[in-house]
Amino acid sequence: MAPRLIEALATTGPMAEIFCDESVLQAMLDFEVALARAEAKVGVIPQSAARAIAVAAKASAFDCAKLAESTLRAGTPGIAVSKALTEVVQSKDPAAAGFVHWGATSQDVADTALVLLLKRARPVLMRDLSRIGKALSRLSKQHKGTVMLGRTLLQAAPPITFGLKAAGWLSAIRYGQEQLERAFQDALVLQFGGATGTLASLGQDADAVAEALAENLGLRLPEPPWHSRRDRLAMLVCNCGVLTGSLGKIARDIALLMQNEVSEAFEAGGNGRGGSSAMPQKRNPIACSLALASANRVPGLVASFLSAMIQEHERGVGGWQAEWPILSSVIQATALALESVAEVAEGLSVDSKRMRANIENTQGRIFAERASMLLAQKLGKDAAFKALEEAARDSAKEKKRLAEVLAKMPEAAEQLGPRVLRDLEISEQYLGSAERFRRALLSDANTPERASEERSKSSRRKQNSVKQKKER
């Protein structure tokens, strides 16, 4: 489904479909159906009532615009939906209508529906995270020896490799993915507490109904319900904020590398991507700009969600009602950032010759640190630093290479010697631990896939242990 025009730069097609009106409504109806079936299984309501509710609970049979209007009056979508569903069931099976929403409260419907939407969103996010991981890993390996300028405070600095830069991006994404996975695992839980979170209306059948309901929806069953406890969702939102920040950092770096004066890396273009309405020559960083737009929006949304956590007693006034649009916006913005960066990483072209040329354009001044450290062994740190400051200024002023200027400075020429001066500006000789760091960042032991595999093994070991104890 295409997003609404006003949201065209705020979401993706798959996420627009997940959070569209019909999808949100169906998630609430799915809760009502799962509840009825769970209660019928336990014997709380008749099986015939559960069947009638299931037949009626189809989003296409409801007027979403009317429900939205009723929600605004009621202050919660759960009231509007349960009332509308009751009316539909009433028209087909009056006896079953009285069992709609049996023992639940409106927040049970709304919160669980939101969790079901998050459950659908999760694989979409993880798919693009996987795409990014594979693309950045490939780029890092492909360019492990591609030297480029390091840049500090946007100024030229000693060389690094593009492979190291890509590995740094990847490491942050992997970390964000692992934290997001954990946050999803914690957040995908059933909300079912009844009026005040005690399930008193279901009496001795409460636990059995809750267990069956969680099983029907494929969600974990927390204990107790979490009506005014919002920390699980807050952690998910916060992790989205951190992840979009990491994605924004990648987008910012690449957008800067795409500047005409730099021209070291480029997004893939074509098919309407990257053009200008007025300047035919332009190749704009469009996917980067979309990722940056998300990274700019999400922190404010995170702050809004955290502000809404302070909810009163057993049911919040205003805080809970604020969450739906905030959380849906955060997830959709995160998805847009992920999809955009995945597109960039998979189609990125790297101009290694231009990277080398930009190093050469500094006329060796980026190796002033190297010369200073070598000279400090003879002259002392302060004297060496002052000598290199002077040499760097003369190099820029006279448009001569740093080594050439140093060769004419008696104290430098004498202490360094012609061989050192000859090799001073060879980038590959001043990369330090760049390759070791790159390999460490790419280490398989740090990947979310490995961590997930280890968690699965641990879970299987626990299950086998429990099984063996039962058998004994």
List, for residues 68-86, the tens digit of each pLDDT value: 999 999 989 999 999 999 9
Comparing 1-104+194-217 with 121-189+226-354, is the CATH topology the same? no
Q: pLDDT tens across 456-469, in order?
A: 555 555 555 545 55
3-class DSSP state for residue 421? helix
Token output for 353: 């010759």
Angstrom distance (rounded) from CA 413 to CA 4: 68
Question: Could you tell me what percent of the chain has a pLDDT over 70?
Answer: 91
CA separation, residue 90 to residues 35, 39, 57, 82, 99 (Å): 18, 19, 12, 12, 10
Q: pLDDT tens across 301-348, in order?
A: 999 999 999 999 999 999 989 999 999 999 999 999 999 999 999 999
pLDDT bucket at 445, cuts 50 / 70 / 90: very low
Q: Provide the pairing of β-strand 349-350 with 147-152.
A: unpaired
Contact residues for 69 (Cβ-Cβ < 8 A; gap 6+): none
Helix (H) / strand (E) element for 458: namely helix 448-471
Contact residues for 201 (Cβ-Cβ < 8 A; gap 6+): 103, 194, 195
pLDDT for 466 equals 47
DSSP state of 437: H
pLDDT for 223 equals 83
3-class DSSP state for residue 273? strand
CA separation, residue 139 to residues 82, 120, 143, 162, 286 (Å): 52, 30, 6, 8, 20
Residue, of 159 and 9, whose pLDDT is higher = 159
Tell me what the mean pLDDT of segment 114-136 comes to: 97
DSSP state of 200: G
Token output for 121: 């969103």
pLDDT for 457 equals 57
Q: Given 48, 91, 201, 276, which residue is catalytic? A: 276
Angstrom distance (rounded) from CA 263 to CA 280: 18
What angle (nearest 5°) sits at the alpha carbon of residue 338, between those of residues 264 and 289? 50
CA separation, residue 244 to residues 100, 235, 250, 258, 373 (Å): 41, 14, 10, 21, 39
Tell me what the mean pLDDT of segment 180-188 comes to: 97
3-state secondary structure 210-239: HHHHHHHHCCECCCCCCCCCCHHHHHHHHH
Q: Given a cut of 70, is residue 65 above it in pLDDT?
A: yes
Tell me what the mean pLDDT of segment 97-120 comes to: 97
Residue 65: burial class (beta carbons within 10 Å; 0-12, 13-18, 19+):
exposed
pTM: predicted TM-score of the whole model, two decimal places = 0.90
The amino acid sitting at 72 is: L
Q: Given a cut of 60, is residue 281 above it in pLDDT?
A: no
Contact residues for 224 (Cβ-Cβ < 8 A; gap 6+): 193, 197
Angstrom distance (rounded) from CA 124 to CA 345: 17
Q: Given a cut of 60, is residue 278 above it in pLDDT?
A: no
- From 187-191, 265-269, 306-310, the region with the lowest mean pLDDT: 265-269
Angstrom distance (rounded) from CA 340 to CA 3: 16
Token output for 152: 């500090």
Q: Given a cut of 80, is residue 92 above it in pLDDT?
A: yes
Q: Given a cut of 90, is residue 257 above it in pLDDT?
A: yes
Q: In this structure, is the dihedral angle defined by the CA atoms of residues 460, 465, 470 and 472, taken in order, positive or negative?
A: positive
Angstrom distance (rounded) from CA 237 to CA 322: 14
pLDDT for 216 equals 98
Q: pLDDT tens across 362-373, in order?
A: 999 999 999 999
What angle (nearest 5°) sits at the alpha carbon of residue 296, between those of residues 291 and 298? 95
Tell me what the mean pLDDT of segment 378-406 comes to: 95
CATH number of 121-189+226-354, picked from 1.20.200.10, 1.10.1060.10, 2.40.30.10, 1.10.760.10: 1.20.200.10
pLDDT for 271 equals 67
315 given a catalytic annotation: yes
DSSP state of 44: S
Question: Using an 8 Å Cβ cutoff, are 166 and 350 in contact?
Answer: no
Contact residues for 360 (Cβ-Cβ < 8 A; gap 6+): none
What residues are paired with 150 via a beta bridge? 157
Residue, of 172 and 282, whose pLDDT is higher = 172
pLDDT bucket at 284, cuts 50 / 70 / 90: confident
Residue, of 448 and 384, whose pLDDT is higher = 384
> Residue 316 phi/psi, 5° resolution?
-75, 155
Angstrom distance (rounded) from CA 472 to CA 470: 5
Angstrom distance (rounded) from CA 298 to CA 327: 10
438 given a catalytic annotation: no
pLDDT bucket at 6, cuts 50 / 70 / 90: confident
- From 120-129, 279-288, 330-339, the region with the lowest mean pLDDT: 279-288
Contact residues for 157 (Cβ-Cβ < 8 A; gap 6+): 149, 150, 151, 366
Angstrom distance (rounded) from CA 406 to CA 417: 10
Residue identified by tokens 């006279």 is 398
Among candidate residues 103, 101, 111, 331, the one with its CA nearest the CA of residue 222:
111
pLDDT for 269 equals 75
Angstrom distance (rounded) from CA 162 to CA 434: 10
Token output for 238: 């916060």
Q: In this structure, is the dihedral angle defined by the CA atoms of residues 4, 10, 13 and 15, taken in order, positive or negative?
A: negative
Among candidate residues 402, 449, 440, the one with its CA nearest the CA of residue 422:
402
Domain edges within the chain = 1-104+194-217, 121-189+226-354, 365-424
Q: In this structure, is the dihedral angle defined by the CA atoms of residues 373, 378, 384 and 387, taken in order, positive or negative?
A: negative
pLDDT mean across residues, the chain:
92
Angstrom distance (rounded) from CA 285 to CA 292: 10
Q: Given a cut of 70, is residue 255 above it in pLDDT?
A: yes
pLDDT for 9 equals 86
CATH number of the domain at 1-104+194-217, please? 1.10.275.10
Q: Given a cut of 70, is residue 272 above it in pLDDT?
A: no
Q: Given 315, 370, 401, 438, which residue is catalytic? A: 315
What residues are paired with 160 via a beta bridge? 148
pLDDT for 461 equals 58
